[in-house]
Amino acid sequence: MINQFFSYLLEASICMAIFYLFFRLLLWKEVFFVWNRMYILGTLALSLIIPAINIPLQTTQGIALQEVFVIQLQGTTVTSSGGTYSFSWQEWILYIYLSISLLLLGKLAFQITKLWYYSRNFSASRATNYKLILTEGKLPTFSFFKLFFWDNSQDISETDKAQILKHELTHIRQWHSADILFVEIVKAFFWFHPAVYLFKQSVQQVHEYLADAAVVQQYPAGNYIQLLVSQTLHTQSISISTSFHQPPIKNRIYMLQKLKQARPAFWKIALSLPIIVALVFVYSCQKSDLSDLQVDKNITSTKSQLTIEEILEKYRSKYPNITVGDINMFKNPDGTSNPRLTIKNVDNITDKLKIEEEISQAAQAFLASQLAVSPPPTAPNAPDAPLAEEIFQEVDEQPTPVRGYDTFFKYISENISYPQEARLKGIEGKVFVQFVVHNDGSIRNVQVLKGIGSGCDAEAVKVITNAPKWNPGMKNGQPVNVRMAVPIAFKLN
């Protein structure tokens, strides 16, 4: 889990770096300020989303395509326990990282609270779309959402006041403070990444370009540039605010002069689309050769061609929230056990048993195709050669452990250990182990269908290989080979 989180941070950081590099190379000198604002906010959001989503890609390359009959058992869970627990280095890094993030979030909350305090303690008056707060020279002129802090100690003309008011009202009406707040929250979790600080600087500059452009639509550009130059000494600002005095003034003057000279190159924005598609493909699309070997809605019975979903659909008008539950092992009167699917959200016990019987029959024999990529781990002492005899898909009696399933799962729990490598790396998850119960009751051809690595796969193979004999499956009174699968869950305490 910790490794997955660090992997997410790394992938999101790479996305941010690529997006910012593109912005710096092609967009930052362009005058389509609205598009630049959308690009900065959109790519920051995509950097957080792309590594978090998983788009499975089905592929047949390197896979032995075969229809294999598998009976899945309920499985068991292995937990780490015993001994004095000590933090791994990954956990120490995680705690340090989270501590810094919490401090930054606390600082952000303090700054917001401080602005609220100022708004309550300075002289204020209500306007149509904002609250005017007079700072008496104790704070510079700036805005935060609909709070407009005005330094009324400055000796400036009415025209200059009107231009500054137009500038700040543009910030308020276009919700620029929301952008800053979003970037600050991202910065709290990616405080280690230079691109986040550069993105914040860029979005603040774009805000000023937008506000400046709004002013020169109403007032002469030359007079406004003179006002900007006269205000260069007033550089005090609050990091989460949008301020008229936001530096660098030189860049703002350059953009004002460029507004009437340059034509926006919108084709540059379009170039970002292939980058987005490439990052989605690299970080969101994952090759999915193996199913999780869990019960699928579209499993079909070899006897009845109804899918489980079709069976559920028959009863959905009466039980709209009906869903498939877990697989349980039910003992027959003769002492044998069969897997049985359970259902949820059905109150009537008679209907519940009837539906469970139907879907259990449909799922008694299901196909798990695309099973193995290049040779899976096999047991060190198990026969590696393929079985010459047929592996049956339908049997009259399913294989069962000689001493019952409870004893079988107890054997696994008592004989399997949590690999030290997996514990140190924080690895947990399910290992799906496939094996064949031979017609003599021995367990053969043990292999991992889907694993989690770090020693867990090998440990699962070892314990299944050394398991006691089973009662073989029976067909027409004769013992036959049957393939089984069992999930073994590794879970850290």
Which pLDDT score, from 0 to 100, does residue 87 have? Answer: 65
For the chain, give every domain's residue range.
Answer: 2-53+87-283, 308-367
More confident residue, 295 or 451: 451
Is pLDDT of 43 > 80?
Answer: yes
Which pLDDT score, from 0 to 100, does residue 303 have? Answer: 39
Kindly indicate the confidence band of residue 334, based on its pLDDT and cuts at 50, 70 and 90: low
User: What value does the mean pLDDT of the chain take?
Assistant: 78
More confident residue, 198 or 367: 198
Is pLDDT of 24 > 60?
Answer: yes
Is pLDDT of 40 > 70?
Answer: yes
* Strand pairing class (478-480; 142-144): unpaired
- List CB contacts of 221: < 8 A, sequence separation 6 or more: 256, 257, 259
Residue 394: both structure tokens together? 């339908």
* Strand pairing class (142-144; 242-243): antiparallel
Q: Contact at 8 Å (CB) between 53 and 284?
A: yes
The neighbouring-strand residues paired with 340 are 328
Distance, in Å, from the CA atom of 208 to the CA atom of 206, rounded to the nearest integer, reads 5
Q: Contact at 8 Å (CB) between 177 and 149?
A: no
Which pLDDT score, from 0 to 100, does residue 190 have? Answer: 96
Which pLDDT score, from 0 to 100, does residue 383 have? Answer: 45
**How far lies 30's CA from each of 41, 256, 285, in Å?**
17, 11, 33
Distance, in Å, from the CA atom of 325 to the CA atom of 345, rounded to the nearest integer, reads 10
**How far lies 263's CA from each of 23, 137, 222, in Å?**
18, 41, 21
More confident residue, 202 or 387: 202
More confident residue, 290 or 442: 442
Is pLDDT of 359 > 80?
Answer: no
**How far lies 59's CA from each of 9, 51, 296, 415, in Å?**
28, 21, 19, 36
Residue 152: both structure tokens together? 């009324």
Q: Which of 39-43, 49-53, 188-192, 330-334 has the lowest mean pLDDT?
A: 330-334
Is pLDDT of 36 > 80?
Answer: yes
For the segment 93-105, what is each residue's pLDDT rounded down to a tens digit?
989 999 999 999 9
For the segment 197-249, what is each residue's pLDDT rounded down to a tens digit?
999 999 999 999 999 999 999 999 888 888 888 776 655 566 777 766 666 77
Q: What is the mean pLDDT of residues 445-472?
A: 89
Which pLDDT score, from 0 to 100, does residue 62 have? Answer: 33
Which pLDDT score, from 0 to 100, does residue 261 have? Answer: 63
Is pLDDT of 480 > 60?
Answer: yes
Q: Contact at 8 Å (CB) between 67 and 369?
A: yes
Which pLDDT score, from 0 to 100, does residue 326 have? Answer: 58
What percent of the chain is predicted at pLDDT more than 90? 27
